[in-house]
Structure 1
Amino acid sequence: MFQVYAPNEMTKSKAIAKITEDFQGAKKHWGEDFDKWVFVHNAADGLPPHVLKLLLDFEKKNAGIVLEPWGLEALRLVFRCLSMEDLESWFGPAPTKETKLGFEDLRIVLERISAQNAPLDQAVKDVPMGKIEANALSESTAKLIKVGMEKTPQVEEFFAEWHEPALGERVAESFREQYKSLRAKFTPNSIFSELQSWAGGSERRTSEHELAVQSFPIER
C-alpha cells in the first residue's frame, strides 16, 4: 500500500494529521489486503523528525505491517528497473535530434550570448514585478535571477538582429513547455535548477553560460 504526500512544506500539525488520517483509513478499508505501507514523500533533505517519529510509532503499534519511507532516491531505483516500453508509456518517446523542442535554437543563442560581456555602465533591469512571489522562489534563487538579468540587453539585441524573426518566440515556447512538464514534479526552486540543466545540457561549464541561460525564461 502506498501513501503519497508531497506538499511544498511539511508543517508539523498538517503533516501529522494527514499522514495519520491516510494510514488509519488504509487500515480500515484494506487492512486485510496489505502487510507493507510505503510512505512516498518529496522531502529533498529527508523527512523531518516529527514525521519519522510518527512512522516509527505506527510500526510499533501495528506489528503485522512493515512501514517504509520512499524519497527521491528510492523512486529513482524503481524507475531504473523499468523497461523502455514502460518509460515511453509514461513520458512519451525519448527526444531525438529531430524532435528536441528548441534545443538547436537554444544552442545558437547560448553560444552567442555567453560570449558577450555585459557593459560595465549598463543599468541592470529589475526582475518583473510579482514573478518571484508568484513562483514562490527563495531569496537565493531571486538573487541568481537578478544576476542573470545583467544579460537581458544582449538577449534582446540578439533576437532583434537575428535573421529569423520567429527564433525568440520558439525559444520562449521551449521554456514554457518545459516549465509545464516540471511544474507538477518539482518545487519552485528545483524547477529553476532543472530549467538551467535542461537549457544548458552537457555544455554547462562557465558562469557566462549560466547567466545566459538565466536570461531566457525571465525576459521572454
Structure 2
Amino acid sequence: MTSEQRYWWRIALELKLRKCSGDAFQDFFSVMMGKVHGTDFVRVRAYGRRGDKGCDGYVQSSGQVFQCYGALNGDSGKVDYLIGKMEDDYQKAVVAIPSLMKEWHMVHNIVDGLPIEAVEKLDVIKKSDPARHFGFIGIEGFEQRIFGLMESDIEDLLGVVATAKDAQNVQATEIRELVAHIASSSDTVDFDSANIKPVPPNKLVFNKLPNHWRNFIAGGWPNAGVVKSYLDRHPDPLMGERVAQIFRVRYQYLKAQNLNPGAIMSSLFEMVTGTGSVLPERMVAAQALLSFLFESCDIFEDEPAKVAS
C-alpha cells in the first residue's frame, strides 16, 4: 500500500463511517469482520421476538461478542442514549450468552471521539465483570483491521482510490466540471470581490487537521497550479473569487456548528465530489481544487499575527 493509497482509503473510511448508521453500519462491520476472520466470524441478527441477545457479531475462537452502535451522521450528541444502550446490551449478553462471551466490545462510528461518559460507563462494566475483557472499536479499530487486508479486499470495502500516477495526470475536464458544479450554487451565496488572502506556510499545522487530511492537501499542491491556470483563463474573470466565496460561506457554516477540522474537511470534500463512489480521476481533481482553495482563499484559519515581545 502506497502512502497515497493509505490517506485516500483513510478518507474513504471516514466518509463511510460518517454516512453509515443503524443496520447499514452493522452490515459494513460484519462484511469487514468476515474478510478479516473468515468463517471464524459469525454474523448475527435479530429474529423476531427472540432478539439478538445483545450480540451483533461473534468471533468463535476468541469468544468476542460485538454490539454495534451506528449513530446518525456519526454524531455523539445522544450521550444518554449511548450510555443506556451500552448498559442494556451488555446486560442482555451477560444473561443470555454467558458461556459464549469471553470479551465484549462496543463498535461505533463516532469518528470525532467518544464522550467521556461512555468511557466511564465501560469502566463501570469492567469493574463489575473482571473475568472478561472489554473495549471499544471505532475508526482506529476499523483502520487497523482493514489496512491489514489484501488490496482487493480493501477495494471491496472502501472502493478504488487514486494513485500517484492518477495525480500526475489530473484532467482539466474534471477540473472544469467540478468548478461548474460548485459555481452553479453561487446564486444562493452572498458574493463580494474582496481579495483572497494568501495562506501562511504553517496553516496545515495551525488548523490541527488530522494527518490524512494534511497529506491530502499537501498531495494536491502540485496540481493546484492547474486549477489556478484554468480559473485565470475562465471567460468569467470573477469565477475564482466566486468559487472561493462559496467555500468561505460553507466553511463558516460548518465552523458555526462546532465541528472539528476533520469533520469540516470531510464535508467540504463531499461538497466537491458528491456522495457515493468517486472515480480516481474525480478524486485527484477534487484534491487539486481543495488544495488550491485551502492555499488561496479563506477556508480554515490564518494564524494570528504574533505580537513582538
Query: TM-score when scaled to structure 2?
Result: 0.39
Distance change >3 Å, CA 44–CA 29, structure 1 → 2? same
Q: How does 1:79-98 map to 2 (within 5 A)?
A: 79-92=146-159
After TM superposition, list the pairs within 5 Å mapping 1:93-132 onto structure 2: 104=171, 105-107=173-175, 113-115=227-229, 116=231, 119=238
Q: Check whether the contact 2:76–2:114 (CA below 8 A) recurs between aligned residues.
A: no
Structure 1 equivalent of residue 127 of structure 2:
60
* Amino acid in the other structure paired with 1:5: Y
Question: What is the root-mean-square deviation in Å for CA atoms of aligned residues?
Answer: 4.9
Q: How many residues align?
A: 162
1:139 paired with 2:256, answer: yes
Between the aligned partners of 1:137 and 1:75, the Cα distance in structure 2 is 26
Identity, in percent, stands at 20
| Counterpart AA for 1:19 | M
Q: Find the residue that maps to 2:276 and give its secondary structure.
A: helix
Shift of 1:208: 5.7
Q: How does 1:201-220 map to 2 (within 5 A)?
A: 204=291, 207=294
Superposed CA deviations along residues 171-208 of structure 1, whole A, max 9, x for unmatched, are xxx933xx1349xxxxxxxxxxxx99871159935646
Alignment of 1:36 with 2:103, yes or no, is: yes
Aligned counterparts of 1:5 and 1:51: Cα–Cα separation in 2: 12
Q: Structure 2 CA distance, aligned partners of 1:78 and 1:113?
A: 36
> How big is the shift at 1:52?
0.7
Mapping of residues 156-175 of structure 1, within 5 Å: 175=273
1:6 positional shift: 3.4
Aligned equivalents of 2:276 and 2:258: distance in 1?
Answer: 19
Provide structure 2 residue ranges, at least 5 long, that are not aligned to the other structure: 1-64, 180-223, 260-271, 299-309
The structure-2 alpha-carbon separation of the partners of 1:209 and 1:6, relative to structure 1 and needing over 3 Å to count, comes to farther
Residue number among 180, 185, 192 corresponding to 2:276 in the alignment: 180
| 2: CA distance, partners of 1:17 / 1:91 | 31
Q: Deviations over 1:13-57 (max 9, x none)?
A: 211112222222222333221211122223344322211110001
Matched residue SS, 1:180: coil
Distance 2:66 2:126 in 1: 15
* Cα distance in 1 for residues equivalent to 2:143 and 2:291: 23
SS at match of 2:120: helix
What is the rounded CA distance, in whole Å, between the counterparts of 1:21 and 1:198 in structure 2?
A: 47
User: How far 1:11 moved relative to its partner?
Assistant: 2.5
- For structure 1, the 5+ residue unaligned runs are 143-173, 183-194, 212-220
Contact 1:197 1:204 in 2 (8 A): no
- Show the counterpart of 2:118: 51
Q: Structure 1 residues 69, 114: CA separation in 2 closer, same or farther (over 3 Å shift)?
A: same
Question: How do 1:8-27 and structure 2 match up within 5 A?
Answer: 8-27=75-94
Distance 2:100 2:285 in 1: 42
Residue-by-residue CA offset, 1:52-105 (whole Å, 9 max, x unaligned) = 1100011111122211122222221111211223223334555679999xx633
